[in-house]
Structure formats: structure tokens, C-alpha cells
Amino acid sequence: MEKDNLNRDQLYLYEEIMTGLKQYIDSHGLKEGDRIPTEKELGDLFKASRISIRRAIKELVEEGTLNIVRGKGTFVSAPRKEIHLLDLQGFSEGLTTDNDTITKDIISIKRVKSNKNLDRIFENQYDEFIELVRKVYRNDQALSLDFAYLPTELYPGIEERITPESSTFTIIHDDYGVEFKKVNKNLEFVHPDEELQGHLKVNSLNLLVLVDKVIYGEHDAPVHYSKYYLIADRVKLRLEHIIDQN
């Protein structure tokens, strides 16, 4: 059985290796997608057994710092992106930070007839909708696929105002004077169908987070419906509620 350096506390050695690996990534300027040294090379570098090296790598994979590709090696990955599920606005509006670049591509924008699901959500009020499908990227890596449905009766000509980077929430509020009063969101984990696999470059075994969202305006009338599929291992979901004690 391999043994670590006996002059170090073996119980916490993997934590030291984790810290050392992060410092190695920073000092060598490794970016997302770059491969780190092999287990043997790391063992020589940290003077540790493969058992401790593997434990450190496992922990870094679980926290999102590293990603193992079978048969190819271990690579630097982007940390999971935190998303606040209780936000009223679209999830991508609050994603951009100093360390990230969020971009969107329009996959399709077209008029569609209502169906049973849209009739249920919009209470049989509208016959036609704009269906907007956009892919969201974080630092050029696919993050989600977003489907939005906007009644043409409520928002005439809205398709002409939408660009890849525009916020439909800003357009609806500023151009059409709609006030948002509440939002309902449903969350579930799903496996991708062939369409989602193609757009998000995942396989059928990958888990996606499906967020189904309805926004309501005055008099509890539904004014916006969307559903978006997030790649589960690239996001961290957060719930936060401020309690008003007055």
C-alpha cells in the first residue's frame, strides 16, 4: 500500500493538495479546458500517494474546479454559475459579472398557434404567440436553451424589437407598459431529448434543470411564459427570501 510523507498530517493531506492544485492552476495561467498534469506527475510534485491525489481531484471535481474526461485526462472547468431562482426577471439578465461574459443567440423567432399548454397557462385568452428560442452561453460555453412565449395581441410587433442580446422583460415593461406583479416557477430535473442534445452539446445521460415560469401582471393576468433548460453540472441554484418583519 502506498504511503504519504509521514511528516505531514495524512488526514488533511488531500486538502493541502487541493489548495496546491488551485495555486498551480493560477500560477501556470491555466484556463477552462486546459489539462492538468497526470496523477503520477502530481504525486511527484506534491510528494503524495495516488490515493491522496485522487481524493483531492475528486473533491475539486465535485466543487466544479476540475472535470474528468475518461480516456483523455483531467481538465480545468469553469466554476458553477449561481442562479437566483426567486428573481422575477429572466435568469440571464443577472448573470454577467466581471469574470464572465454572457451572450445569447436567437435559434428561432416565429408566430405559433396556441396549444393545450398555452391555453392552460393563458386561460384561453390568446390564439397566437411569438415563440422565441435562444441559446445562452457563458464564456462561449453553452449554458442553457430558453423558450419564451409572448401573446401577439398583447405585444404587437414585438418580434421586430428583439435582438440576440435584448431583454424581453425590458421591452415588455418599457415599450408596452406592462407591470410585473408576481411569478410562479416550477423546477424539475430532466434528461435531454435529441433537440436539446443537439443545441446544448450534451448526451442523453446528462441532467438538465428545467425551470418553467409564468409571470403575472395586473389582476393576476398571465403576461409572459417561458421555460429554460440549464445544464445541471454548470449551475448552482440559490433560493433567498427576505422576511419583512414590519
Block mean pLDDT (10 aa), the chain, length 246 = 45 80 88 89 91 90 81 80 52 51 92 96 96 89 92 96 90 93 90 92 86 92 94 72 53
Closest by Cα among 137, 131, 145, 140 to 190: 145
- Rg, Å, the chain Cα set: 23
CA 145 – CA 226 distance, rounded (Å): 11
Residue 172's identity, in one-letter code, is: I
End-to-end Cα spacing for the chain: 63
| Neighbouring residues of 84: CB distance < 8 A, sequence distance ≥ 6 | 91, 94, 238, 239, 240
Beta bridge partners of 151: 129
**Per-residue confidence (pLDDT) for residue 45, from 0 to 100:** 92
CA 229 – CA 212 distance, rounded (Å): 9
| Neighbouring residues of 169: CB distance < 8 A, sequence distance ≥ 6 | 89, 90, 93, 180, 224
Residue 42's identity, in one-letter code, is: L
**Per-residue confidence (pLDDT) for residue 240, from 0 to 100:** 59
**Per-residue confidence (pLDDT) for residue 80, from 0 to 100:** 60
